[in-house]
């Protein structure tokens, strides 16, 4: 979806310099091949000053969305406002929001995501969990993977491929 057609604006992980430059300067979807808050440099990626952060769910960790009314959401698909930039400075919302804090703490993940050996690089889709259960920390409902701990195995016991 072109940025102009999206109801929200995507923000990459803020740094002091980028925050002070205003939200209009923040990186969004970078066109073909671009990834929010992800790859730096290169065609379709972000400018070289972006810190690379690529994982499954980036909501509240490397991206967020600000609505046209100023509401700040972890992502465009997770309709839980963490504040309004008309009332609270964006850096304060970004740094102190409980929702954003929860999304940055994989120890709070519940169900099989909380037990999963891949949770640090995946975290499931927090918006999908919320959409299904109204709990953004619930296990990802569309994942068919069964973590080793649920299978009663350990990482150490796995043969090297």
Site residues (CB under 6 A) for ligand SF4?
112-113, 116, 118-119, 122-124, 140, 143, 145, 147
CB of 38 to ligand SF4, least distance (A): 17
CB of 143 to ligand SF4, least distance (A): 3
Q: Which residues sit opposite 59 in a β-bridge? A: 63
- The CA distance from 26 to 10, in Å, is 7
> How far is CA 87 from its chain centroid?
23
User: What is the DSSP secondary-structure string of 39-67?
Assistant: -BSSTTSB-TTSPP---S--BTTTEEEEE
Using the minimum distance from each CB to ligand SF4, give the nearer residue, 14 or 61: 61
Using the minimum distance from each CB to ligand SF4, give the nearer residue, 80 or 137: 137
Using the minimum distance from each CB to ligand SF4, give the nearer residue, 81 or 102: 102
CB of 37 to ligand SF4, least distance (A): 18
Using the minimum distance from each CB to ligand SF4, give the nearer residue, 26 or 75: 75
CB of 153 to ligand SF4, least distance (A): 14
CB of 55 to ligand SF4, least distance (A): 10
Q: Strand locations in 2-134, DSSP E?
A: 8-12, 63-67, 72-73
Distances (CA, A) of 52 to 27, 35, 45: 12, 10, 10
Using the minimum distance from each CB to ligand SF4, give the nearer residue, 60 or 83: 60
How many Å from the N-terminal Cα to the C-terminal Cα in the chain?
Answer: 39
């Amino acid at each position: 979806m072109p940025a102009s057609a999206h109801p929200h604006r995507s923000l990459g992980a803020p740094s002091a310099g980028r925050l002070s430059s205003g939200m209009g300067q923040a990186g969004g979807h970078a066109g073909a091949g671009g990834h929010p808050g992800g790859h730096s440099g290169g065609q379709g990626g972000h400018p070289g000053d972006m810190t690379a952060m690529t994982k499954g769910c980036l909501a509240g960790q490397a991206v967020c969305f600000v609505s046209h009314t100023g509401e700040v959401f972890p992502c465009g698909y997770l309709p839980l406002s963490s504040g309004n930039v008309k009332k609270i400075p964006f850096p304060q919302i970004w740094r102190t929001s409980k929702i954003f804090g929860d999304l940055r703490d994989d120890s709070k993940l519940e169900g099989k995501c909380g037990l999963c050996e891949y949770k640090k690089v995946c975290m499931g889709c927090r918006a999908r969990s919320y959409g299904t259960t109204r709990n953004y920390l619930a296990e990802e409902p569309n994942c068919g993977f069964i973590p080793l701990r649920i299978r009663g195995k350990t990482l150490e016991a796995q043969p090297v491929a």
